Amino acid sequence: MYLLRYYLESLQDLRVRAGLTVVDLKNLLKIILRDMIIVLLPTVTITTYALYVGVIELGTTIILLSTSFFTALIIPHLKYILVVRSRNKTLEREIVYFIISESITYSRSTELVNDLCGLDGWEGVFPTLVNEGLRLRVYRKFLTTIEAINFYIRYTSSSFISKILSDYVLAYSKGIINAWFTHTSSELLRKLRSEVSALMKLRTTVVLMMGVVVSYLPMLTFSLSVITGGGELTNVLVVVPVLMILSILILPSNTQHLRMYNTSTLEGKLITTSSYVLIFLTAISTYLSLENISYLIKVTATVSLINGILNLVKFYNIISEVRELPKVLYMYAETPYILVNPLNALKEVLSNCKSRSLRELGKKLSLSNVKEGTSTLRSWLSRYVYYVIIKSLTTGSLGKEQLLNLRVLTLDMLEDFKQYLISVLPLIMMSLLMPFFMVSMTSLANVNISNFIFYIYVIVVTYSLYVDYIIFNTFNSTLITGITLLTLSISWCY
């Protein structure tokens, strides 16, 4: 009984640390049973069938079933441990930007816990912190501020969050919150810049290294197979997708201020689906060596290119939105009547922007409905700047100095956007040259290209989809795939 109680209590504790609520025993047992069945059902089925056909012996079956049962017991804990780790990373990232914004908008009324509890409506900027603010709000109904923070720290697994909040409690008790915000924000800014710089270098290295590997090895193997007549091409069709998936898995995720929100309409989803359906059908046609393959490749290239161009327009609008942020902040800071009527001054500045989303924000600008304004912006950095400005307006701390400080911070973050875009240029060039290289090798070897078109198509499409994902951070866009297939259809005389 002690072990069972410890098992259930530890699971409840993990749920709380994962941002979930404590559930009653009946619902908790349902969750455990569901997770265990997901693991046990396929294992028991396969093991029983293997025993029935005589592939394994009874002793081996008992060992496998026992191992599966113990594995199923730890699956619920493992699941919540992964959720806790993911949540801690997200929470740490958001609280860094939040404290920096608190420092920029600091006034005599600034209080960290109050501001955390008042984040309703800003789910588009701090989704995890909004939930933590709701939890702190419940604690503060029964406890003082210091007691609420101490109680909250007990159920957080992040040492970084615990240290930040513990230092804040100490500063709060001594009445030196202003100095704490100044010192902590400066320290977090330095840490953020160093981490972002290291992460961008690591991402660029991984992108280029895996990009070269995924492109060079298939082309080299293809060339050797065409020249020597070997049969290594079948292995390439297995290795290339595996390398692509591995590269995507080990690729470091973008930093918070590089996050983009590219929503798709019904028409956009249909044309994206059509592109992938055509890509799949063309692959089958090239494998079966059907007629009019060249025509089908051109149709696939056209549809993929149209889908890619539509997504490129959205991507360009996001980049334009981000590029205009420093200009908006500068113009807003230099507006003569900013202190007289700051909200109308901001509307006037936004109405003169080239970015459509910023102009729409100017029309929807309101202190009472910030959620609608946030949803019009397509980049996290724009939403963050919008939050800081609105927060300055509500606290009465808005001034030229604060806006210029925010502009400097935005300019630093824009450098990461430039590095992000420059790092993918070599991949684009390699993707566009790949069809020319493979078709040229078949011509030089004086072999029938029809015998190799399936291998060429699969290698080219796989790599192009990989490059599209690296550029747009989504599989919705098929711009590079469409251009590459169009290049293949032009260079291949069927």
For residue 494, name the pLDDT band (cuts at 50, 70, 90): very low
Q: Is 338 a domain residue?
A: no
Percentage of residues in the chain having pLDDT higher than 90: 2
Model pLDDT, residue 286: 83
Q: Is 66 a domain residue?
A: yes
Percentage of residues in the chain having pLDDT higher than 70: 92
The mean per-residue pLDDT over the stretch 475-491 comes to: 86
Q: Are residues 95 and 84 in the same domain?
A: no
Asked whether 476 and 308 are in contact (CB, 8 A), the reply is: no
Model pLDDT, residue 210: 74
As beta bridge partners, residue 260 has 379
Q: Report the alpha-carbon angle 102-105-106, nearest 5.
A: 75
Domain stop point among 65, 88, 111: 88
Cα–Cα dist 165/203, whole Å: 31
The mean per-residue pLDDT over the stretch 436-458 comes to: 76
- Cα 86 to Cα 81, 102, 130, 248, 335: the distances in Å are 9, 24, 16, 18, 42
Model pLDDT, residue 29: 76
Q: Above 70 in pLDDT, residue 492?
A: no
The mean per-residue pLDDT over the stretch 401-413 comes to: 81
Q: Are residues 109 and 151 in the same domain?
A: yes
Q: Are residues 118 and 58 in the same domain?
A: no
Asked whether 225 and 231 are in contact (CB, 8 A), the reply is: yes
Q: Above 70 in pLDDT, residue 53?
A: no
Q: What is the DSSP string of 239-306?
A: HHHHHHHHHHHHSPPPPGGG-B-----HHHHHHHHHHHHHHHHHHHHHHHT-TTHHHHHHHHHHHHHH
pLDDT, tens only, 315-333: 888 888 888 988 888 888 8
Q: Are residues 229 and 262 in the same domain?
A: yes
Alpha helices in 54-120 (DSSP H): 58-104, 112-117
The mean per-residue pLDDT over the stretch 222-248 comes to: 70
Task: Report the C-alpha dihedral over residues 259, 264, 270, 272, rounded to 10 degrees.
Answer: -20
Return mean pLDDT, the chain: 81
Q: Are residues 178 and 65 in the same domain?
A: no
Q: Are residues 95 and 186 in the same domain?
A: yes
Q: Which residue has the higher pLDDT, 7 or 172?
A: 172
Alpha helices in 106-176 (DSSP H): 112-117, 127-140, 145-154, 159-174
pLDDT, tens only, 90-121: 888 889 889 988 888 888 778 888 888 888 88
Phi, psi (deg, nearest 5) at residue 260: -125, 150
Angle in degrees, 0-180, between the axes of helices 177-228 and 159-174, rounded to the nearest 10: 160
Q: Are residues 81 and 97 in the same domain?
A: no
Cα–Cα dist 413/257, whole Å: 7
Model pLDDT, residue 235: 67
Asked whether 451 and 293 are in contact (CB, 8 A), the reply is: no
Asked whether 349 and 363 are in contact (CB, 8 A), the reply is: no
Q: What is the pTM of this model?
A: 0.84
Question: How far is CA 258 from its chain centroid?
Answer: 9
Domain stop point among 40, 61, 88: 88
Q: Above 80 in pLDDT, residue 470?
A: yes
Q: Is 382 a domain residue?
A: no
Q: Are residues 119 and 158 in the same domain?
A: yes
pLDDT, tens only, 344-388: 888 888 888 888 888 888 888 887 778 888 888 888 888 998 998
Query: Locate tokens 């259930």: which residue?
Result: 8
Q: Are residues 228 and 118 in the same domain?
A: no
Domain stop point among 28, 58, 88: 88
Q: How many Cα atoms occupy the beta-carbon half-sphere of 247 within 13 Å?
A: 27
Model pLDDT, residue 233: 65
For residue 337, name the pLDDT band (cuts at 50, 70, 90): low
CB neighbours of residue 458 within 10 Å: 19
Q: Is 267 a domain residue?
A: yes
pLDDT, tens only, 258-283: 788 877 777 878 888 899 999 988 88
Q: Are residues 256 and 311 in the same domain?
A: yes
For residue 82, name the pLDDT band (cuts at 50, 70, 90): confident
Q: Is 283 a domain residue?
A: yes
Q: Highest mean pLDDT: which of 126-130, 223-227, 267-271?
A: 126-130
Q: Which residue has the higher pLDDT, 170 or 37?
A: 170
Model pLDDT, residue 213: 73
Model pLDDT, residue 298: 87
Structural domain range at position 206: 199-322+421-491
Q: Are residues 134 and 44 in the same domain?
A: no
Q: Above 60 in pLDDT, residue 231?
A: no
Length of the chain: 494
Q: Is 365 a domain residue?
A: no
- What is the domain count for the chain? 3
| 3-class DSSP state of 148 | helix
Q: Are residues 285 and 172 in the same domain?
A: no
Q: Is 82 a domain residue?
A: yes
Q: Is 381 a domain residue?
A: no
